[in-house]
Amino acid sequence: MKSNIIASSILLGACFLSLYRYFRFEEIFFLLLAFRELIASINFLRRKNPIAESKNAFIAYLSSGLPYLYFPPSSLSFELISNVLFISGFFIVTLATIDLGKSIGVKAAKRDRVTTGIYKYINHPMYLGYSIAQFGMVLLNPINIFIYILSLFLFFKRSSEENRILNS
Amino acid sequence: MNKLLKIITVLLTVSAFSQVFNNERSVSIKDFNQLSKFYLDLSNTFLELSKKAQSLEESDLNHYEKEQLFRKEMDLKMDSINNTVLEIGNNFKGSPGV
Protein backbone atom coordinates (compact mmCIF):
# COMPACT_ATOMS: atom_id res chain seq x y z
CA MET A 1 0.00 0.00 0.00
CA LYS A 2 2.83 2.37 0.97
CA SER A 3 4.64 1.72 -2.32
CA ASN A 4 1.41 2.46 -4.23
CA ILE A 5 1.10 5.87 -2.55
CA ILE A 6 4.78 6.68 -3.21
CA ALA A 7 4.52 5.71 -6.91
CA SER A 8 1.24 7.57 -7.28
CA SER A 9 2.72 10.72 -5.70
CA ILE A 10 5.78 10.61 -7.99
CA LEU A 11 3.53 10.30 -11.04
CA LEU A 12 1.29 13.10 -9.80
CA GLY A 13 4.41 15.26 -9.46
CA ALA A 14 5.36 14.35 -13.04
CA CYS A 15 1.82 15.28 -14.08
CA PHE A 16 2.14 18.77 -12.54
CA LEU A 17 5.59 19.18 -14.10
CA SER A 18 4.14 18.34 -17.52
CA LEU A 19 1.27 20.77 -16.93
CA TYR A 20 3.77 23.49 -15.99
CA ARG A 21 5.70 22.80 -19.20
CA TYR A 22 2.46 22.98 -21.18
CA PHE A 23 1.56 26.40 -19.74
CA ARG A 24 5.16 27.58 -20.22
CA PHE A 25 5.70 26.37 -23.79
CA GLU A 26 2.08 25.86 -24.97
CA GLU A 27 2.99 22.50 -26.54
CA ILE A 28 -0.04 20.18 -26.53
CA PHE A 29 2.32 17.18 -26.30
CA PHE A 30 2.90 18.06 -22.62
CA LEU A 31 -0.86 18.01 -22.06
CA LEU A 32 -0.92 14.44 -23.41
CA LEU A 33 2.01 13.61 -21.12
CA ALA A 34 0.23 15.14 -18.08
CA PHE A 35 -2.92 13.19 -18.93
CA ARG A 36 -0.95 9.93 -19.11
CA GLU A 37 0.82 10.62 -15.78
CA LEU A 38 -2.52 11.40 -14.10
CA ILE A 39 -4.09 8.12 -15.32
CA ALA A 40 -0.98 6.18 -14.21
CA SER A 41 -1.07 7.94 -10.80
CA ILE A 42 -4.74 6.96 -10.26
CA ASN A 43 -4.05 3.40 -11.48
CA PHE A 44 -1.23 3.02 -8.95
CA LEU A 45 -3.59 4.02 -6.11
CA ARG A 46 -6.21 1.49 -7.25
CA ARG A 47 -3.88 -1.35 -8.16
CA LYS A 48 -4.23 -4.84 -6.77
CA ASN A 49 -1.70 -6.75 -4.70
CA PRO A 50 0.31 -9.12 -6.89
CA ILE A 51 -0.10 -12.88 -6.76
CA ALA A 52 3.60 -13.22 -7.54
CA GLU A 53 6.30 -10.71 -8.32
CA SER A 54 9.87 -10.57 -9.56
CA LYS A 55 12.58 -10.47 -6.92
CA ASN A 56 14.87 -8.55 -9.22
CA ALA A 57 13.49 -5.02 -9.40
CA PHE A 58 16.81 -3.35 -10.29
CA ILE A 59 16.41 -3.72 -14.08
CA ALA A 60 12.87 -2.29 -13.94
CA TYR A 61 13.89 0.78 -11.93
CA LEU A 62 17.04 1.32 -14.00
CA SER A 63 15.01 1.11 -17.21
CA SER A 64 12.43 3.60 -15.83
CA GLY A 65 15.10 6.10 -14.83
CA LEU A 66 17.27 5.76 -17.95
CA PRO A 67 15.35 8.32 -20.10
CA TYR A 68 16.48 11.06 -17.68
CA LEU A 69 20.07 10.43 -18.78
CA TYR A 70 19.47 11.34 -22.43
CA PHE A 71 21.61 14.25 -23.62
CA PRO A 72 19.84 17.44 -24.76
CA PRO A 73 19.48 18.15 -28.51
CA SER A 74 22.69 18.92 -30.39
CA SER A 75 20.90 19.74 -33.63
CA LEU A 76 17.31 20.50 -34.57
CA SER A 77 17.54 19.15 -38.16
CA PHE A 78 15.20 16.25 -37.32
CA GLU A 79 13.00 18.22 -34.92
CA LEU A 80 9.77 17.51 -36.82
CA ILE A 81 10.40 13.74 -37.09
CA SER A 82 11.41 13.65 -33.41
CA ASN A 83 8.20 15.41 -32.40
CA VAL A 84 6.16 12.94 -34.48
CA LEU A 85 7.98 10.05 -32.75
CA PHE A 86 7.40 11.54 -29.25
CA ILE A 87 3.69 12.03 -29.88
CA SER A 88 3.19 8.61 -31.55
CA GLY A 89 5.14 6.85 -28.78
CA PHE A 90 3.25 8.48 -25.95
CA PHE A 91 -0.06 7.92 -27.73
CA ILE A 92 0.65 4.16 -27.54
CA VAL A 93 1.92 4.48 -23.93
CA THR A 94 -1.23 6.37 -22.87
CA LEU A 95 -3.55 3.80 -24.49
CA ALA A 96 -1.58 1.01 -22.77
CA THR A 97 -1.79 2.82 -19.39
CA ILE A 98 -5.60 3.09 -19.76
CA ASP A 99 -5.95 -0.60 -20.71
CA LEU A 100 -3.55 -1.76 -17.99
CA GLY A 101 -5.73 -0.19 -15.26
CA LYS A 102 -5.23 -1.82 -11.85
CA SER A 103 -2.54 -4.17 -13.24
CA ILE A 104 0.00 -1.35 -13.59
CA GLY A 105 3.44 -1.78 -12.06
CA VAL A 106 7.13 -1.00 -12.49
CA LYS A 107 8.65 -4.38 -11.69
CA ALA A 108 7.33 -7.60 -13.19
CA ALA A 109 4.37 -8.93 -11.17
CA LYS A 110 1.45 -11.26 -11.64
CA ARG A 111 -1.83 -9.37 -11.35
CA ASP A 112 -4.84 -9.67 -13.67
CA ARG A 113 -3.58 -10.46 -17.17
CA VAL A 114 -4.74 -7.75 -19.57
CA THR A 115 -5.71 -9.02 -23.02
CA THR A 116 -8.11 -6.29 -24.11
CA GLY A 117 -7.66 -3.00 -25.96
CA ILE A 118 -4.17 -2.45 -27.33
CA TYR A 119 -2.97 -5.57 -25.43
CA LYS A 120 -5.09 -7.63 -27.84
CA TYR A 121 -2.61 -6.75 -30.61
CA ILE A 122 0.72 -6.26 -28.80
CA ASN A 123 2.08 -8.02 -25.72
CA HIS A 124 4.13 -5.10 -24.41
CA PRO A 125 2.71 -1.86 -25.92
CA MET A 126 4.21 0.30 -23.16
CA TYR A 127 7.76 -0.71 -24.15
CA LEU A 128 6.94 -0.28 -27.84
CA GLY A 129 5.68 3.25 -27.15
CA TYR A 130 8.73 4.16 -25.08
CA SER A 131 11.06 2.73 -27.76
CA ILE A 132 9.41 4.84 -30.47
CA ALA A 133 9.46 8.01 -28.34
CA GLN A 134 13.05 7.52 -27.18
CA PHE A 135 14.28 7.09 -30.76
CA GLY A 136 13.33 10.75 -31.16
CA MET A 137 16.06 11.58 -28.63
CA VAL A 138 18.61 9.72 -30.79
CA LEU A 139 17.63 11.85 -33.80
CA LEU A 140 18.11 15.02 -31.77
CA ASN A 141 21.52 13.97 -30.46
CA PRO A 142 23.34 10.97 -32.05
CA ILE A 143 25.35 10.32 -28.85
CA ASN A 144 22.07 9.14 -27.29
CA ILE A 145 22.28 5.96 -29.42
CA PHE A 146 24.30 4.27 -26.62
CA ILE A 147 21.62 5.00 -23.99
CA TYR A 148 18.94 3.95 -26.49
CA ILE A 149 20.57 0.56 -27.14
CA LEU A 150 20.87 -0.02 -23.37
CA SER A 151 17.25 1.03 -22.98
CA LEU A 152 16.10 -1.45 -25.67
CA PHE A 153 18.12 -4.20 -23.99
CA LEU A 154 16.47 -3.42 -20.62
CA PHE A 155 13.01 -3.40 -22.23
CA PHE A 156 13.78 -6.83 -23.68
CA LYS A 157 14.90 -8.12 -20.26
CA ARG A 158 11.81 -6.63 -18.55
CA SER A 159 9.39 -8.10 -21.09
CA SER A 160 11.06 -11.54 -20.79
CA GLU A 161 10.78 -11.35 -16.98
CA GLU A 162 7.14 -10.26 -17.21
CA ASN A 163 6.32 -13.16 -19.55
CA ARG A 164 8.05 -15.56 -17.15
CA ILE A 165 6.15 -14.28 -14.10
CA LEU A 166 2.80 -14.18 -15.92
CA ASN A 167 3.22 -17.73 -17.22
CA SER A 168 4.40 -19.10 -13.85
CA MET B 1 -14.86 5.05 -18.69
CA ASN B 2 -11.91 3.60 -20.61
CA LYS B 3 -13.61 4.56 -23.86
CA LEU B 4 -13.92 8.19 -22.71
CA LEU B 5 -10.25 8.28 -21.65
CA LYS B 6 -9.24 6.87 -25.03
CA ILE B 7 -11.32 9.49 -26.87
CA ILE B 8 -9.52 12.23 -24.86
CA THR B 9 -6.16 10.58 -25.71
CA VAL B 10 -6.98 10.54 -29.43
CA LEU B 11 -8.13 14.18 -29.33
CA LEU B 12 -4.97 15.28 -27.51
CA THR B 13 -2.78 13.32 -29.94
CA VAL B 14 -4.49 14.77 -33.01
CA SER B 15 -4.17 18.30 -31.55
CA ALA B 16 -0.49 17.71 -30.75
CA PHE B 17 0.17 16.48 -34.33
CA SER B 18 -1.74 19.39 -35.80
CA GLN B 19 0.29 21.84 -33.69
CA VAL B 20 3.58 20.26 -34.74
CA PHE B 21 2.71 20.25 -38.46
CA ASN B 22 1.33 23.79 -38.42
CA ASN B 23 4.34 25.00 -36.45
CA GLU B 24 2.09 26.76 -33.95
CA ARG B 25 4.44 26.37 -31.03
CA SER B 26 5.07 29.19 -28.62
CA VAL B 27 8.50 29.94 -30.05
CA SER B 28 9.63 28.50 -33.34
CA ILE B 29 13.16 28.23 -34.66
CA LYS B 30 12.10 30.70 -37.36
CA ASP B 31 11.29 33.25 -34.63
CA PHE B 32 14.75 32.85 -33.12
CA ASN B 33 16.43 33.16 -36.52
CA GLN B 34 14.46 36.28 -37.30
CA LEU B 35 15.24 37.82 -33.91
CA SER B 36 18.97 37.05 -34.09
CA LYS B 37 19.10 38.57 -37.61
CA PHE B 38 17.32 41.65 -36.26
CA TYR B 39 19.83 42.11 -33.42
CA LEU B 40 22.69 41.73 -35.89
CA ASP B 41 21.14 44.36 -38.20
CA LEU B 42 20.56 46.65 -35.23
CA SER B 43 24.17 46.49 -34.07
CA ASN B 44 25.35 47.11 -37.67
CA THR B 45 23.06 50.12 -37.88
CA PHE B 46 24.54 51.67 -34.73
CA LEU B 47 28.05 50.96 -36.02
CA GLU B 48 27.25 52.73 -39.30
CA LEU B 49 25.69 55.68 -37.45
CA SER B 50 28.75 56.01 -35.24
CA LYS B 51 31.03 55.98 -38.33
CA LYS B 52 28.81 58.59 -39.98
CA ALA B 53 29.00 60.79 -36.87
CA GLN B 54 32.79 60.48 -36.84
CA SER B 55 33.13 61.36 -40.54
CA LEU B 56 30.80 64.37 -40.07
CA GLU B 57 32.82 65.48 -37.05
CA GLU B 58 35.99 65.48 -39.15
CA SER B 59 34.35 67.36 -42.05
CA ASP B 60 34.53 71.16 -42.56
CA LEU B 61 30.75 71.61 -42.24
CA ASN B 62 29.34 73.88 -39.57
CA HIS B 63 27.59 72.53 -36.49
CA TYR B 64 24.05 73.06 -37.89
CA GLU B 65 24.81 71.22 -41.18
CA LYS B 66 26.48 68.36 -39.34
CA GLU B 67 23.43 67.96 -37.10
CA GLN B 68 20.99 68.09 -40.05
CA LEU B 69 22.92 65.46 -42.04
CA PHE B 70 23.24 63.16 -39.02
CA ARG B 71 19.52 63.51 -38.20
CA LYS B 72 18.61 62.65 -41.82
CA GLU B 73 20.81 59.56 -41.75
CA MET B 74 19.41 58.51 -38.36
CA ASP B 75 15.78 58.94 -39.50
CA LEU B 76 16.44 56.69 -42.51
CA LYS B 77 17.96 53.99 -40.31
CA MET B 78 15.18 54.27 -37.72
CA ASP B 79 12.52 53.87 -40.43
CA SER B 80 14.21 50.66 -41.55
CA ILE B 81 14.38 49.40 -37.91
CA ASN B 82 10.71 50.26 -37.31
CA ASN B 83 9.68 48.34 -40.43
CA THR B 84 11.67 45.29 -39.31
CA VAL B 85 10.11 45.47 -35.82
CA LEU B 86 6.62 45.62 -37.35
CA GLU B 87 7.41 42.69 -39.66
CA ILE B 88 8.70 40.57 -36.75
CA GLY B 89 5.71 41.56 -34.61
CA ASN B 90 3.29 40.45 -37.32
CA ASN B 91 5.00 37.11 -37.90
CA PHE B 92 6.03 36.29 -34.33
CA LYS B 93 4.24 33.25 -32.98
CA GLY B 94 5.62 33.46 -29.47
CA SER B 95 3.97 35.02 -26.45
CA PRO B 96 5.36 38.36 -25.21
CA GLY B 97 6.57 36.59 -22.07
CA VAL B 98 9.06 34.44 -23.97
- The domain ranges of chain B are 28-91
For A95, residues 6+ apart whose C-beta sits below 8 A from its C-beta are A117, A118, A125, B6, B9
pLDDT at res. B73: 85
Same domain (yes/no): A133, A63: yes
What digits encode the pLDDT tens for the residues A13-54?
989 998 988 888 778 888 898 999 999 999 888 887 877 777
Show the domain range for A67: 51-167
Domain boundary among A30, A46, A62: A46
Q: How far is A150 from chain B (nearest CA, A)?
A: 28
**Mean pLDDT, residues A110-134:** 89
- ipTM of predicted complex: 0.85
Closest partner CB to A29 (pick from B5, B16, B29) = B16
Mutate to test the interface with B, among A20, A26, A46, A104 (most CBs of B within 10 A): A26
What pLDDT is stored for residue B10 in this prediction? 93
Among A27, A91, A98, the residue with its CB nearest the CB of B19 is: A27
Do A74 and A151 lie in a common domain?
Answer: yes
Contacts of A114 (CB under 8 A, 6+ apart): A99, A100, A101, A103
| A60 and A31 share one domain | no
State the sign of the Cα–Cα–Cα–Cα dihedral A129, A132, A136, A137.
Answer: positive
Do A19 and A66 sit in the same domain of this protein? no
Q: Are residues A88 and A126 in the same domain?
A: yes
